[in-house]
Amino acid sequence: MQPILLILSLLHFFKAPPLPPETECAFCNRTVLDSQKFYEDDLVIALWNYRAALPGHSLIIPKRHVERFDALTDQESLKIAQVIKKVDAAARQVFNSSAYLLYQKNGREVGQSVPHVHFHYIPRQFGDDSLISLLFNICTLSLKKNLTPTEMGIATNKMKLAMESPMITFKHVDLANRAIVHKWLKEPHVAEWFYGQGLQNTLDHLDAFLNRASSDVKYWIAFDSGKPFAFFITSPVSKPADPLSKFCNEDGPAITLDMLIGNPDYLGKGLAPNLIKQFLLTEFPTIKEVLIDPEASNEKAIHVYKKAGFVKLEEFIPSHSPNSHIMMRLNMRHLKKYAFKPYDKESPALFQKEKNRISSLIKQDTRIEHVGSTAIPNLGGKGIIDIAIASDNIDIISSELQKIGYEFRPTGSTPTKLFFKEPSGTFHIHLMSPTTTEWKNLLHFRDYLISHPEEAKQYQELKKTASEDNPANGTKYRELKDPLIRKILDSK
């Protein structure tokens, strides 16, 4: 049966439907573009396909009306390739994709339905290995239902914000980056604190690292969408022989850390605290503690490290410097996303205060509800106050929330729900239509646990165990909770 379906699908794929009697190309129609696009520059537009073969199905087109690929200018071809890479980076954030299919048709004889060059980008997640299913979804594309305006708005907003957000990655320094590290170490804002024997040690150990000599010291560069901008140094604390062991308070592995923002364009943006957290959680998820020792007079660095979660231990004078330094320590437990916290009786009042603030600033018809663990008396959890907002004006509310300080987070969003975080992390907002299943489930789950305290207690113990066993693994944390959640939702 599958081969027959595949053959019929391929026949459909290569047969272009009759062109409608319209005078304007669909991809030159501003109404179409404004409702579907999530990226635009001087040469290229990226838009959401109004019929999606799979989640994330996008189109990348030249802005100029060009019917065939061979008619593109070299500049347009290059720009399209660059935008495809950007779309893929955004899709990896939004859909956690690990691979993608890219295809483009030239001419009605091979099924080109719109006489304007367009590349289909279709992302796939790791494990989605059914080739027949993939081809069937693509080949029967024209038979699928169109996305509704609300679905289209949610999809384009997610990709737009993901395209605009920085893509931070970390890599070991290599020979190609040696010169830029040396340049950064000479920048005035860096040279003030890297000097004398300390600077020489850094340079010597860096060369040993690049020459693959035996060295426990590792050197890293942080990249923003491929652009280098920060520098990290790490080394293990060899317990118990290492003199630094006396500053550790936990059994298990520990490291020392040093970091600097090298590119002056990135100074003063408040990036360092979160950058440190992201680096440690990404590259050292199993480490128990981290030590760092800024100069005692470097008040800015000390402030940054405090914001990242480090605490002061004691003042001392290291062997490589005549000046006093402050030893600071970070317990990695404090960075873990899924740390269990007891119920805070102040949560309802904090929710009401934030609800009032949102209502006063957003002049739209909305329903705002307190959901999640903090909405249920005596139920512990992550301590985050979850706020559910229902509205028929998703796009407008999304824009207004961002104006009042909330950050849109593509990775927490779904096709029917937009997710936002307040910078301090105290409040999370889930924005959706009041007709969605997610809205109904959130309210039912809350109300059920409020009226069934014994099951609320059982859910609390489950959350506590899940957070202790999987402090930084969101997938495992949710998997442990899902059976009970599903049982409660099925009780509707």
Tell me how far apart the alpha carbons of residues 155 and 55 are, in angstroms, rounded to a whole number.
9
* SS3 call for 288: coil
Higher pLDDT, 174 or 139: 174
CATH 3.30.300.30 is held by the domain 347-489 = no
Average pLDDT over the chain, rounded to whole?
84
Radius of gyration for the alpha carbons in the chain, expressed in angstroms and rounded: 27
Beta bridge partners of 475: none
* DSSP E strand stretches across 347-478: 367-371, 385-390, 407-408, 417-421, 427-432
Reduce the secondary structure of 21-84 to three states and give it as a string. CCCCCHHHCHHHHHHHEEEECCCEEEEECCCCCCCCCEEEEECCCCCCHHHCCHHHHHHHHHHH
> pLDDT tens, 314-355?
999 988 888 999 999 998 877 765 567 788 899 999 999 999
Is residue 471 very low, low, confident or very high in pLDDT (cuts 50, 70, 90)?
low
Average pLDDT over residues 287-301: 94
168-335 CATH pick, 3.90.1580.10, 3.30.420.40, 1.10.10.10, 3.40.630.30: 3.40.630.30
CA angle 115–120–124, rounded 5-degree value: 165
CA angle 29–35–41, rounded 5-degree value: 70
Average pLDDT over residues 225-242: 91
The domain spans of the chain are 2-164, 168-335, 347-489
Q: Roughly what angle, to the nearest 10 degrees, separates helices 299-308 and 272-283?
A: 50
Q: Which residues contact 200 (CB under 8 A, 6 or more apart)?
A: none
- pLDDT exceeds 70 at position 7: no
Is residue 21 very low, low, confident or very high in pLDDT (cuts 50, 70, 90)?
very low
2-164 CATH pick, 3.40.50.1110, 3.30.428.10, 3.40.1440.60, 3.40.50.720: 3.30.428.10
- pLDDT exceeds 80 at position 299: yes
Q: Indicate which residues carry an active-site annotation.
A: 118
